Amino acid sequence: MKISVITAVYNRADTIAGAIDSVLGQQNVDLEYIVVDGKSTDSTADVVASYGGRITRSICEPDAGIYDALNKGIAAASGDAIGFLHADDCFADDQVLSRVVEMLADERIDGVYGDLVYVDAGSLERVRRKWVSGPYKVAKFRRGWMPPHPTVYFRKQCYEQFGVFNDHMKTAADYELLVRMMVKHQVPMGYLPQVMVKMRVGGASNASLRNRMHANADDRNAWVINGLPSPWGLRLTKPLRKLPQFLR
């Protein structure tokens, strides 16, 4: 089984090498690695180019934002399953993708997700929050639950059948995709109870309170545009779901 990993990047010359090294360092996996650079104005493109043919495909052109870039990566991907690693992040160890492959060997599931830790921007070893997903039930989604999107891998056929990111959803595009896949179309999922990704604090969807409030407002629309009743109190229950992450 081939796994496609996509990294979207824009002006991240200081962190992109760490993300690339993390992907290329994965062991025991048939890997396709695609980097989509939105025409960075710093030295990001030079860093990416320095890896030469070790990166399967590099796309460097203007885009309309991170989800447009990720969609370009999905369109270019030829793997049996597709996942993402953001330019600020890294895998927790060098066997993450091999474990994803082991999970997807079960033909009864079409997607995999796991756990994630938020780490300090200056130190990948300083854990600020731990996001333990737990086994999936549709009812949990209605109570504000979601898996951490950087840990999610869907078979390529899921994107072909049910579509890619809706980039009109802004910072909630990842949430809308998960609602569409896992709730509306009930894609069967497997849970990998291990930390898969280290994410630096300060991503696009949690960088500020204003961004987070906009994302929470868009969360309701994620249900509405999929023809699903929006859960009562979602704007409250979804943020409250994050509180245990600070206590682990």
To the nearest whole number, what is the mean pLDDT of the chain?
A: 90
**pLDDT tens digit string along 30-49?**
999 999 999 999 999 999 99
pLDDT band with cut points at 50, 70 and 90 for residue 122: confident
**pLDDT tens digit string along 157-190?**
999 999 999 999 888 899 999 999 999 999 999 9
Instruction: Give whichever of 120-129, 188-197, 219-228 has the largest mean pLDDT.
Output: 188-197
Please say whether the beta carbons of 36 and 70 come within 8 A.
yes
Burial of 246 (0-12, 13-18, 19+ CB in 10 A): exposed
Mean pLDDT value across residues 213-228: 83
What is the pLDDT, as a whole number, of residue 7? 98
Fill in the DSSP letter of residue 186: -
Q: List, in order of start, the domains of the chain with CATH numbers.
A: 2-246 (3.90.550.10)
What is the pLDDT, as a whole number, of residue 220? 86
User: Token pair of 99, please?
Assistant: 């474990």
Residue 99 has pLDDT above 70, yes or no: yes
pLDDT band with cut points at 50, 70 and 90 for residue 213: low
Instruction: Give pTM, 2 decimals.
Output: 0.90
Residue 55 has pLDDT above 60, yes or no: yes
Residues in the chain: 248
Mean pLDDT value across residues 119-132: 90
Rounded Cα gap, residues 31 and 48, in angstroms: 17
